[in-house]
Amino acid sequence: MEQIFNKISDRLYSNLKTGEHLTLSLDGENSQFIRVNNAKIRQTGLVNNADLAFDLIYNNRNCQGQITLSGDYDNDYKRAVEELNCLRAEIVQLPEDPFIVLPENTGSSRASKSANGLKTDQTVDSLLPIMAGVDLVGIWSSGRIFSGSSNSAGQKHWFDTETYSLDFSLVNKDHKMVKGTFAGSDWNQSKYEAYIKDAKIKLELMNKKPVKMKPGKYRTWFESKAVSNFLSMFSYQGLSEANIRQGNSAFIKMRNEGKKLSSLFSLNEDFRSGLVPRFNERGEIAPEVLSIIEKGNLANTMVSSRTAKEYKVKSNNASGDEVLRAPQMAIGSLADENVLKKLGTGLFISNLHYLNWSDNIGGRITGLTRYACFWVENGEIVGPIETMRFDDTIYNLFGDKLEAVGDNIKINPEVETYFGRQYGNITCPGMLVKSFELTL
């Protein structure tokens, strides 16, 4: 598909009319998905897709298009020309856009990573046997994902990688669950089987007598995954500069009212792992490392070139939707082996579920506990808790109430697949807070 993308790009750019500027981007996948319920196969299949997106600028006007590519160059070039001609017919009817940013050539890049993963005809017999004897439910996703970007100023980027993930839950007879995600690039059967065996052992912890909690404020340790659940909300009506300017962000109080988070909390955009392309859909390269929250202070927000032009600020080449693409939270000093002792009596939360801003401007988030969440007394796990709703603010949890941050950073891979398989992860340690409010 890289060759087709390059050939279409070159040919379309060479035939552009005077005054036209064009950016093309490609996103696609060759994926295998196997859905498992009760350690049996519910659905199995493959998906091949490639979407070519157009961004045309002409006479201070701008419009976008997208088509599906088939993998046959002649057919795809014909589709691309038809789409470009439709955009040309439309663009002259549109109002002027004062915030257009013309494409530039700031350099090109190429990164391609192949892996020794499971072949699609090996997957079932590699995955299923070790699942026997336990209620496992989840999704296997694997294969190649790819992205390209080019523009009429001569810039070109390509990124492709092969990955896999088995994102799963183990369920005991009382419907208590533990979560696991076995993800990577090269397949290692013995490591996989060890991971599943370890998850089965964790499930035994859930056999302890459940503890019924009452609403109230509790001292709480959040495992890395639970912290990543909070951090994922920072990309939704959060750290986008446009959202802050337009009155839809939980961080407005930090910008306008001088609010601060805890000096123990720092967050970066960090692309050094190479797992995520640094270029955005316009082909602009993000800084390798960008400080977002520096010891509790708002150091940078996510600023796209369009937002930069509109609000006369400097772009940091964020994507158009100004989300975090490679978030990494700084570690603290609390060692894993000291977590329960330091927590003393309180909640041990491994995962959260269905987070949403209950008061976006106030920075308040609601959601639920899920999976392996325990009540701890005097440093000892008493038992799993029933599902509880919480409602608390980031200014408490990452601010005044943050007591300690773990020293063990973990990678939480992105496993969502709404618009195709995704790159990336949220990398963060766990954290201990003095107070976490349960409400129902």
Partner 1 sequence: MTQQLHNLLNAVDVPADWIGLREVDERTTVRFIRDGHPQSNTRVKTHGIMVEVLVDGQFGYVGTNDISEKGIQVAAKKAYQQAKLAAKYAIHAFTDEARPKAIGEYKSPYKKTFDESSPGTLNELMVKASKVLKISDKVISTNAFAQIVDSKHRFISLNGSDFSQDFLMVTFDLVATAQNGTNINTRSAGGLRGLSRQIGAELFDEQWILRKAKEIGEQAVELTTAEECPTGTMDLVLAPDQMMLQIHESVGHALEIDRILGDERNYAGWSFVKLDDFGKLQYGSKLMNATYDPTYTGQFASFGFDDGGLKADKEYLIKEGLLMRGLGGKESQIRSGVPGVANFRASSWNRAPIDRMGNINLEPGDSTFDEIISSVKKGVYMESNRSWSIDDYRNKFQFGCEYGKLIENGKLTKTVRNPNYRAISNPFWKSLAMIGNHDTFKMYGTPYCGKGEPNQTIRVGHASPVCLFKDVAIFGGA
Residues 358-397 touching partner 1, rule: CB under 8 A, are: 358-364, 366-368, 370, 387-389, 391, 393
Q: Which residue has the tokens 């790819």?
A: 146
> Contacts with partner 1: how many residues (CB under 8 A)?
95
* Run of H or E residues at 89: helix 73-91
CB of 116 closer than 8 Å to CB of 164: no
Nearer to partner 1, 49 or 338 (CB): 49
CB of 357 vs partner 1, minimal distance in Å: 6
Contact track, partner 1, 317-356, x by CB under 8 A? ------------------------------------xxxx
Residues whose CB falls within 8 Å of the CB of residue 434, separated by 6 or more in sequence, listed in order? 219, 401, 402, 403
Contact track, partner 1, 171-200, x by CB under 8 A? x---x-x-x---------------------
- The first and second tokens of residue 241, run together, are 């500069």
143-172 positions binding partner 1, by CB under 8 A: 167-169, 171
When binding is defined by CB under 8 A, the residue of 99, 105, 216, 379 that contacts partner 1 is: 99
Beta bridge pairs of residue 410: 428
When binding is defined by CB under 8 A, the residue of 7, 10, 38, 377 that contacts partner 1 is: 38
Nearest to 276 by CA among 285, 265, 267: 285
When binding is defined by CB under 8 A, the residue of 66, 188, 189, 333 that contacts partner 1 is: 66
Nearer to partner 1, 43 or 345 (CB): 43
Backbone φ, ψ for residue 204 (5° rounding): -60, -30
Nearer to partner 1, 2 or 407 (CB): 2
Region of 44-52, 196-204, 226-234, 263-271 interacting with partner 1 (CB under 8 A): 44-52
CA 281, CA 287: separation in Å to the nearest integer? 15
284-323 positions binding partner 1, by CB under 8 A: none
Nearer to partner 1, 42 or 197 (CB): 42
Contact track, partner 1, 249-288, x by CB under 8 A? ---xx--xx-------------------------------
Output the CA angle 87-63-320, nearest 5 degrees: 145
When binding is defined by CB under 8 A, the residue of 95, 116, 190, 258 that contacts partner 1 is: 95
Give, as one character, the DSSP assignment of residue 274.
Answer: S
Region of 90-98, 192-200, 274-282, 424-432 interacting with partner 1 (CB under 8 A): 90-98
Region of 106-114, 120-128, 228-236, 289-297 interacting with partner 1 (CB under 8 A): 120-128
- What is the separation of C-alpha 243 from the centre of its chain, rounded to a whole number of angstroms? 19
According to the binding rule CB under 8 A, does residue 70 interact with partner 1?
yes
According to the binding rule CB under 8 A, does residue 68 interact with partner 1?
yes
Residues whose CB falls within 8 Å of the CB of residue 296, separated by 6 or more in sequence, listed in order? 260, 261, 262, 263, 264, 265, 266, 399
When binding is defined by CB under 8 A, the residue of 7, 10, 15, 94 that contacts partner 1 is: 94
Backbone φ, ψ for residue 124 (5° rounding): -55, -50
First to last CA, the chain: 51
Nearest to 5 by CA among 61, 60, 54, 63: 54
According to the binding rule CB under 8 A, does residue 120 interact with partner 1?
yes
126-145 positions binding partner 1, by CB under 8 A: 128, 135, 137-139, 141
When binding is defined by CB under 8 A, the residue of 10, 90, 186, 204 that contacts partner 1 is: 90
45-64 positions binding partner 1, by CB under 8 A: 45-51, 61-64
Listed as own residue / partner, the contacts of 118-127 with beta carbons closer than 8 Å and 24 or more positions apart are: 118/142, 118/164, 118/187, 120/32, 120/46, 123/32, 123/34, 124/34, 124/41, 124/44, 126/187, 126/189, 126/192, 127/34, 127/36, 127/166, 127/192
